[in-house]
């Protein structure tokens, strides 16, 4: 697999099995910041606890780490990933994130491992399928839902998974994702989220779900 450049100058990867890239052509870093970090309000949270579905190239993690380090807050990050990439490939993912460089180097030295920790916080990775992965209850302040699209990678967008993600969020916690697909949005509401359509960058709409209601079932 070969890295490609997105329009903001940051790299992505094309996955031949899914027939899609890991990030939108408008920018890997751009999406990580404007959608996942900011639309979940993680960039303002004093004690962020992020649950990510699809760790991929760790762009979202590194952007979130950078924000936490700049603000002097401790980050707790739990990710589910069923197809971890090699440390050799991840080492080529160069991002302009200076504060997190030392932590990133430490993670690369140990990758793949289930837990990394330091004064900066903690990264835990569940290597498996989100349909079966053990998830904490009422823990996350944010969910980054970032699998491939519902068309080619339907499982993580399904009602049973969305109910599990709702259960993992604290009340008021936010889920963000790039998809605006109708069936997914209906399932999100059914899973107990208040649905918000937000303007996307390079895309008409993104989706934010707020864990406002008591989850059903
Ligand atoms: C779009 S990429 C994620 C990009 C990543 N968030 C980043 O910041 O670089 C989608 C990821 O979801 C993972 N994935 C797809 N289906 C999954 C599932 N059912 N369970 C766990 N991970 C899954 C893929 O292996 C892939 O790494």
The alpha carbon of 170 and the centre of ligand 1 are apart by a number of angstroms equal to 23
The alpha carbon of 79 and the centre of ligand 1 are apart by a number of angstroms equal to 9
Atom 9 of ligand 1: nearest residue by CA position: 57
Q: Which atom of ligand 1 is nearest to the CA of 155?
A: 19
Atom 20 of ligand 1: nearest residue by CA position: 129
Q: Which atom of ligand 1 is nearest to the CA of 83?
A: 25
- The band of 212, judged by pLDDT with boundaries at 50, 70 and 90, is confident
Q: Token pair of 75, please?
A: 């980050």
Residue range 88-123, pLDDT digits in tens: 999 999 999 999 999 999 999 999 999 999 999 999
The alpha carbon of 72 and the centre of ligand 1 are apart by a number of angstroms equal to 28
Is 85 within a domain? Answer: yes
Assign residue 58 a region: left if phi > 0, alpha if psi is -120 to 50, beta otherwise? left
Is 9 within a domain? Answer: no
Query: Which of 15, 35, 56 has most ligand 1 atoms within 8 Å of CB, for mutation?
Result: 56
Residue range 5-64, pLDDT digits in tens: 999 999 999 999 999 999 999 999 999 999 999 999 999 999 999 999 999 999 999 999
Around Cβ 115, how many Cβ atoms within 10 Å? 10
Pairing of strands 75-81, 49-53: parallel
120 close to 65: Cβ distance less than 8 angstroms: yes
Of all residues in the chain, the percent with pLDDT exceeding 70 is 98
Q: What CATH number does the domain containing 131 carry? A: 3.40.50.150
Domain count, the chain: 1
Angle formed at CA 3 by CA 110 and CA 179, multiple of 5 degrees: 95
Is 157 within a domain? Answer: yes
Q: Token pair of 101, please?
A: 């460089």
Is 14 within a domain? Answer: no
Is 81 within a domain? Answer: yes
Cα→Cα distances 63→110, 147, 195, 212, Å: 19, 17, 25, 26
Rounded to two decimals, the pTM is 0.97
Phi first, then psi, for residue 82 (nearest 5°) are -95, -10
Which candidate, 37, 3, 2, 7, places its Cα nearest to that of 24? 7
The alpha carbon of 149 and the centre of ligand 1 are apart by a number of angstroms equal to 10
Q: Which residue has the tokens 């491992």?
A: 113
Is 6 within a domain? Answer: no
The alpha carbon of 211 and the centre of ligand 1 are apart by a number of angstroms equal to 22
The alpha carbon of 114 and the centre of ligand 1 are apart by a number of angstroms equal to 16
Domain that holds residue 146: 27-210
Question: So what's the pLDDT on residue 202?
Answer: 85
The alpha carbon of 80 and the centre of ligand 1 are apart by a number of angstroms equal to 8
Q: Which atom of ligand 1 is nearest to the CA of 54?
A: 12
Is 201 within a domain? Answer: yes
Which candidate, 40, 15, 130, 7, places its Cα nearest to that of 78? 130
H-type alpha helices, the chain = 28-31, 38-39, 59-71, 87-90, 101-110, 159-168, 182-190
Is 154 within a domain? Answer: yes
State the maximum Cα–Cα separation within the chain, in Å, rounded to a whole number: 44
Query: Which of 78, 147, 175, 178 has most ligand 1 atoms within 8 Å of CB, for mutation?
Result: 147
Sequence length of the chain is: 217
């Amino acid at each position: 697999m070969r890295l490609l450049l997105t329009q903001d100058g940051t790299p992505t990867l094309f996955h031949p099995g899914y027939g899609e890239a890991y990030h939108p052509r408008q920018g890997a870093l751009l999406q990580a910041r404007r959608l996942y970090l900011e639309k979940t309000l993680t960039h303002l949270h004093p004690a962020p606890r992020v649950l990510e579905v699809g760790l991929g190239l760790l762009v979202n993690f590194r952007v979130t780490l950078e924000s936490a380090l700049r603000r002097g807050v401790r980050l707790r990050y739990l990710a589910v990933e069923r197809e971890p990439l090699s440390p050799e490939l991840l080492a080529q993912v160069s991002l302009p994130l200076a504060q997190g460089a030392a932590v990133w180097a430490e993670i690369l030295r140990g990758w793949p491992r289930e837990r990394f920790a330091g004064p900066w916080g903690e990264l835990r990775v569940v290597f498996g399928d989100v349909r079966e992965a053990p998830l904490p209850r009422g823990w996350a302040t944010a969910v980054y839902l970032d699998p491939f699209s519902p068309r080619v990678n339907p499982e993580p967008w399904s009602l049973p998974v969305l109910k599990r993600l709702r259960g993992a969020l604290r009340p008021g916690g936010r889920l963000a994702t790039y998809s605006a697909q109708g069936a997914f949005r209906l399932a999100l509401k059914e899973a107990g989220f208040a649905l918000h359509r937000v303007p996307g960058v390079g895309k008409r709409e993104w989706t934010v779900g707020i864990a406002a209601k008591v989850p059903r079932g």
